[in-house]
Chain A
Amino acid sequence: MPSPYILQENDAYSYEFASDQGIRYAIYFLDYGYMFSDYPKISQNIFMFNIDVVSGKPDESIADDRIGMTIVEVFKIFFSKIENVAVYVCDTLDERHLARKRKFDLWFWKFNDGSLLKEDGIAVIEGTTIYNSLLVHKSNKHWPEIVLAYNELNERAGEK
């Protein structure tokens, strides 16, 4: 039975782990509370989640379920504070954003223990499609308001 990779906390800003294929990843959260500045009850707890490659060549690696399991472990820690909310944005640098979204979706549905809600959004900005997802704990009493605000941001992202 595969298990998550061991998380290292080399600094106060991120988690790191190394895969069996020798790729080092960093996972971090950035505070974007102002995203929901119209919703003061929740604006203190909204963060962008990201996973990035520190070293190695993920494009040359084979599928590795342990990475998804490790991400879910990080979410379990992150959401031990029930009020926390995470937003994941698939970057568009190399036109592989849809592939990233599918991978993130697969990891989530495969390993989520059912405690988190995931709301997907698509923002079309100046002709560019930005896939993004919102994660919120099911026990967060403000989740309807959070999802509503998030959906509005996506729907109106393309407006002038």
Chain B
Amino acid sequence: MQKSTAITSAENSKGAAIFKKMLEDKKAIHEHLSKGGKLEDLKDQYKFAKPLHSSGK
């Protein structure tokens, strides 16, 4: 499998930014939950994926 060259040097720091953002988001959400907050309170700050229902519906 050949590697794609689609990612240019200008985007090289993109991975770092994304992983940092993920960690920051996790930390902020963790702190919110630790203080008794609900995820629903953060719905405007983060793009939560609406999970499929466990019933499959």
Q: Which of chain B's residues have a CB closer than 8 A to the CB of A81?
A: 52
Q: Is the C-beta of A149 less than 8 angstroms from some C-beta in chain B?
A: yes
- Nearest A-chain residue to B14, judged by Cβ: A153
Q: Which of chain B's residues have a CB closer than 8 A to the CB of A29?
A: 48-49, 51
Q: Is the C-beta of A159 less than 8 angstroms from some C-beta in chain B?
A: yes
Docked-complex contact B3 and A152, CB < 8 angstroms:
yes
**In chain A between 34 and 67, which residues have their CB closer than 8 angstroms to a CB of chain B?**
34-35, 38-39, 47-48, 50, 52-54
Q: Is the C-beta of A99 less than 8 angstroms from some C-beta in chain B?
A: no
Total interface residues on A, using CB and 8 Å?
A: 52
Docked-complex contact A125 and B16, CB < 8 angstroms:
yes
**In chain A between 128 and 146, which residues have their CB closer than 8 angstroms to a CB of chain B?**
130, 132, 144-145
- Given the complex of chains A and B, what is the CA–CA distance between A156 and B11 in angstroms? 9
- Nearest B-chain residue to A76, judged by Cβ: B54
Docked-complex contact A30 and B47, CB < 8 angstroms:
yes
Docked-complex contact B13 and A159, CB < 8 angstroms:
yes
A contact face: mostly helix, strand, loop, or mixed: mixed
Contact (A89, B29) CB under 8 Å given A9-B51, A14-B48, A156-B12: no
Q: Which B residues form the contact surface with A (CB < 8 A)?
A: 1, 3-4, 6-7, 11-16, 18-20, 22-23, 25-27, 29-30, 33-34, 38-40, 43, 46-54, 56
8 further interface pairs, Cβ-Cβ under 8 Å (given A123-B16, A156-B15, A160-B12): A9-B54, A30-B22, A74-B51, A78-B51, A89-B22, A123-B15, A149-B7, A152-B3
Could you list 19 A-B pairs, sorted by A, with CB under 8 Å? A28-B51, A29-B48, A38-B7, A47-B49, A48-B22, A50-B26, A73-B54, A77-B52, A89-B19, A91-B23, A91-B27, A132-B19, A145-B4, A152-B3, A152-B7, A155-B15, A156-B7, A156-B14, A157-B16
